[in-house]
Chains A and B, each alone.
Chain A
Amino acid sequence: MAKGERKAGAVPPSGGGADAPAGGFVQLLTPDGEHLGSVTTADGTTYSVDFTDEEYRGLYRDLVTVRRLDAEATALQRQGELGLWASLLGQEAAQVGSGRALRPQDMAFPTYREHGVLYCRGIDPIMPFGLFRGVDQGGWDANEHKFNSYTIVIGSQTLHATGYAMGVTMDGKTGSPDGEAVIAYFGDGATSQGEVNESFVWSGVFNAPIVFFCQNNQYAISEPLERQTRIPLYNRAAGYGFPGIRIDGNDVLASYAVTRAALDNARNGQGPTLIEAYTYRMGAHTSSDDPTRYRIASEVESWKAKDPIARMRAFLAKQKVAGEDFFAEVDEAAKTLALDLRERVLAMPDPQPVTMFDHVYPHGSPELDEQRTAFTEYHASFEGSGH
């Protein structure tokens, strides 16, 4: 396998604005909605986007839509219609930017929070609701949509993504602009996992066409970033021999531009990149925890000022790319979609109990067949008894 010519190691970002963490990050759209045009990092790489007005509006629509769907899910959970929900609130830009940077042939491996990426992959947004409502465990076709099942054990999917990417190379699908690439999503907490480190080792050694997209939302449930690392996470890449870069995770344009470049590098045979999307989880880890126990209100407020949707809206308004009519129409469309989703979720039937025996083994199992038969007969014995 030919090694890429890119310099491995951490790429010192451009600096970013006053809202940047120490060491900076790649930012194209400031919290005030100022579009910086392009940004060149210390390694000489220039990042920019080349969107039409229609595409800018499309990105805004995506951001608003996934936030609205997420809000609907949170409400459904509070009303007892979902057993649990892992909210993406605050992480819309990281997900939509990277999700839209994917090409149809690229494969994504999510955690359990990538509802925005799922939406960008063209999957019916009702799909993850089955998992959180408890009627199934996902169940979309990973190969059809190029978006694998949600993975709940932290970090396990990064190895699956790495293996898949090795397969891409073995299939000869790298080394050209039309090649395939793979993206693996995970959070800051996952970087402590051995398996994530193993996936970095493997990807480096095999020069796999993969982008590791870490959404550093600052907390692993209640554990702050300081409990995971003493160095910026993107610096980790240097130890594995590939580039790492930090972006403003609340900037959909930076997320798009840097992910697209990293995916293109991967598909061209230049190997892995680690992207650290520096962002913030505005809500709870899942609907089960209480972030007020471990976060102070002022911190949350400071991140509110960096909101990914507000800045995109400010940019669109300032540049006269969109007006109030458009914003109202987007809100209305998102609301309609969310209400439609709500109706469909409420109508989502419980599975037939006997289906729990389905799909345990591709080739079946005589023991399981026996248990299924016994189960059916047992339940049939209650018919007509009023039970």
Chain B
Amino acid sequence: MAEKITLGKALNHGLRRALENDPKVVIMGEDVGKLGGVFRITDGLQKDFGEDRVIDTPLAEAGIVGTAVGLAIRGYRPVCEIQFDGFVFPAYNQIVAQVAKMFYRSKGKVRVPMVIRIPFGGGIGAVEHHSESPEAYFAHTPGLKVVTCSNPADAYTMIQQAIASDDPVVFFEPKRRYWEKGDVDLDAPLSGAYPLHAARVARPGTDATLLAYGPMVRVALDAAAAAAEDGRNLEVVDLRTLSPMDYPVIFESVKRTGRAVVVHEAPGNLGLGAELAARITEECFYSLEAPVLRVTGYDIPYPAARVEEDYLPDLDRLLDAVDRSFGW
């Protein structure tokens, strides 16, 4: 039966279920134990599963990910928590040079089935290093799978799927959506769930396609609702998987609508929007009524919180891009 819970709570339930179902699953990170994580995503898990399953670690990101690699080689399924997006860089070497390459290096003989959870994105009024969107760095690295959820139902299933996968997964959590509620069927079997590496049409439409992921899916849905009042029927595709990107769903949508607008919080230069624009142009050229447009963060370090609303793509910037697309 479906329950209305927050995205954060859905992740907590998903982690709990993974811990219950597989004794090899361990959670590790700073403050994940007694505190339950700074966002309380691991709340209560150490109490119920013990200090060997939910491990409070020393404070060093490379250490968290690097020791998780060793645990994974040993046969465990570690789920690492990186406390904030901007703190992942000390672990960057381990993630891109080790986690991503173990399987390749060993000709498939060594698997490192692990999940690296990273709360990402802005909009919560935080200080420096607490609002970044570093997903492109990881999506650019072969050997890593990169996914992000946008709603509680996906959060619940996707975290379990990521943990069950033998692929190393970088799992981005939209921190500004942690407190948004949605229906989640906590008893639904994972086997029947929507695939982890699949995009999803979040709102069907006919006139243009908005491509969004993580925290921006809500903005895209709001924009589509607003555009509907002007008589425009926008489709919203929630990418969910950033690497590999689920192109068939994207191409099908854009070929049908003839217009595409990509939105993400990360800087636009060489971001996922650039890749999407290029790929859509290659594949859907004769179906396009306008160039693929991007609405992104600016090419600056994430700014001070008092001006972040001006930095972050919002309803108006997205609708403005839609107008430009129709004006072509």
A→B interface (CB under 8 Å): 109, 136-144, 148-149, 151, 153, 156, 158-168, 170-171, 194-195, 198-199, 201-202, 205, 358-363, 365-368
B165 adjacent to chain A (CB < 8 Å): yes
Contacts A137-B104, A358-B108, A360-B143 given; indicate if A366 touches B244 (C-beta within 8 A).
yes
A360 touches which one: B57, B94, B104 (CB < 8 A)? B104
State in angstroms the CA–CA spacing of A230 and B319 once bound together. Answer: 62
Residues B56-111 near A (CB distance < 8 A):
57-58, 60, 62-63, 65-76, 78, 90, 93-94, 97-98, 101-111
* Contact across chains for B245 and A367 when beta carbons are under 8 A apart: yes
State in angstroms the CA–CA spacing of A363 and B164 once bound together. Answer: 11
B285 adjacent to chain A (CB < 8 Å): no
* Contact across chains for A201 and B60 when beta carbons are under 8 A apart: yes
CB distance from B183 to the nearest CB of A (A): 29
Contacts A167-B71, A205-B58, A362-B166 given; indicate if A153 touches B97 (C-beta within 8 A).
yes
CB distance from B66 to the nearest CB of A (A): 3
A sample of 17 cross-chain residue pairs with beta-carbon separation below 8 angstroms, ordered by A number, consists of: A136-B107, A139-B106, A142-B73, A142-B110, A143-B73, A143-B109, A153-B98, A163-B71, A166-B67, A166-B71, A167-B75, A198-B62, A198-B63, A360-B143, A361-B145, A361-B167, A366-B248
Q: Which residue of B lies closest to A156 (CB)?
A: B98
Q: Nearest 7 CB-CB pairs, A to B?
A: A163-B70, A159-B66, A167-B74, A163-B67, A164-B70, A198-B63, A362-B166
CB distance from B190 to the nearest CB of A (A): 15
B52 adjacent to chain A (CB < 8 Å): yes
CB distance from B146 to the nearest CB of A (A): 12
Q: Which residue of A lies closest to B144 (CB)?
A: A361
Of the listed residues B63, B97, B103, the one surrounded by the most CB atoms of chain A closer than 10 A to its CB is B63
* Contact across chains for A142 and B109 when beta carbons are under 8 A apart: yes
Given the complex, which residues of A lie within 8 Å of B142, measured CB to CB? Answer: 360, 368
B298 adjacent to chain A (CB < 8 Å): no
Q: Which residue of A lies closest to B97 (CB)?
A: A153
Question: Could you tell me the dominant secondary structure of chain A's interface residues?
Answer: helix
CB distance from A193 to the nearest CB of B (A): 9
State in angstroms the CA–CA spacing of A358 and B143 once bound together. Answer: 11
Q: Which residue of B lies closest to A355 (CB)?
A: B107
Contacts A199-B63, A361-B143, A367-B245 given; indicate if A161 touches B58 (C-beta within 8 A).
no
Residues B216-269 near A (CB distance < 8 A):
244-248
Q: Which residue of A lies closest to B142 (CB)?
A: A360
CB distance from A175 to the nearest CB of B (A): 15
State in angstroms the CA–CA spacing of A205 and B51 once bound together. Answer: 13
* Contact across chains for A363 and B167 when beta carbons are under 8 A apart: yes
Q: Which residue of A lies closest to B245 (CB)?
A: A367
Per-position binary interface string of chain B over residues 106-138, scored 1 when its CB falls under 8 Å from any chain A CB and 0 otherwise: 111111010000000000000000000000000
State in angstroms the CA–CA spacing of A164 and B108 once bound together. Answer: 19
* Contact across chains for A361 and B58 when beta carbons are under 8 A apart: no
State in angstroms the CA–CA spacing of A360 and B244 once bound together. Answer: 12
Other contacts beyond A164-B71, A365-B244: 19, CB < 8 A: A137-B104, A137-B107, A141-B110, A144-B109, A149-B105, A158-B66, A159-B66, A162-B66, A163-B78, A164-B73, A195-B66, A198-B58, A359-B107, A360-B104, A360-B142, A360-B143, A362-B103, A362-B166, A367-B245
* Contact across chains for B106 and A162 when beta carbons are under 8 A apart: no
State in angstroms the CA–CA spacing of A165 and B71 once bound together. Answer: 8
CB distance from B113 to the nearest CB of A (A): 8
B165 touches which one: A137, A165, A168, A363 (CB < 8 A)? A363
A163 touches which one: B60, B74, B165, B167 (CB < 8 A)? B74
CB distance from A322 to the nearest CB of B (A): 39
Given the complex, which residues of A lie within 8 Å of B52, measured CB to CB? Answer: 170
Q: Which residue of B lies closest to A194 (CB)?
A: B62
CB distance from B24 to the nearest CB of A (A): 10
Contacts A201-B63, A202-B67, A363-B165 given; indicate if A160 touches B93 (C-beta within 8 A).
no
Q: Which residue of B lies closest to A168 (CB)?
A: B74
State in angstroms the CA–CA spacing of A168 and B71 once bound together. Answer: 9
Given the complex, which residues of B lie within 8 Å of A366, measured CB to CB? Answer: 244, 246-248
B97 touches which one: A137, A141, A156 (CB < 8 A)? A156
State in angstroms the CA–CA spacing of A205 and B69 once bound together. Answer: 18
B110 touches which one: A143, A163, A360 (CB < 8 A)? A143
State in angstroms the CA–CA spacing of A166 and B67 once bound together. Answer: 8
* Contact across chains for B93 and A156 when beta carbons are under 8 A apart: yes
* Contact across chains for A153 and B67 when beta carbons are under 8 A apart: no
Q: Which residue of A lies closest to B69 (CB)?
A: A160
Given the complex, which residues of A lie within 8 Å of B94, measured CB to CB? Answer: 156, 159, 195
Given the complex, which residues of B lie within 8 Å of A162, measured CB to CB? Answer: 63, 66-67, 70
Given the complex, which residues of A lie within 8 Å of B109, measured CB to CB? Answer: 139-144
State in angstroms the CA–CA spacing of A285 and B103 once bound together. Answer: 27
Q: Which residue of B lies closest to A205 (CB)?
A: B58
State in angstroms the CA–CA spacing of A202 and B93 once bound together. Answer: 18
Q: Which residue of B lies closest to A356 (CB)?
A: B104
CB distance from A181 to the nearest CB of B (A): 13
* Contact across chains for A165 and B76 when beta carbons are under 8 A apart: no
State in angstroms the CA–CA spacing of A367 and B246 once bound together. Answer: 9
Given the complex, which residues of A lie within 8 Å of B72, measured CB to CB? Answer: 163
Of the listed residues B26, B98, B245, the one surrounded by the most CB atoms of chain A closer than 10 A to its CB is B98
State in angstroms the CA–CA spacing of A368 and B245 once bound together. Answer: 11
State in angstroms the CA–CA spacing of A218 and B22 once bound together. Answer: 46
Given the complex, which residues of B lie within 8 Å of A166, measured CB to CB? Answer: 67, 70-71
Given the complex, which residues of B lie within 8 Å of A153, measured CB to CB? Answer: 93, 97-98
State in angstroms the CA–CA spacing of A144 and B109 once bound together. Answer: 9
Given the complex, which residues of A lie within 8 Å of B58, measured CB to CB? Answer: 198, 201-202, 205
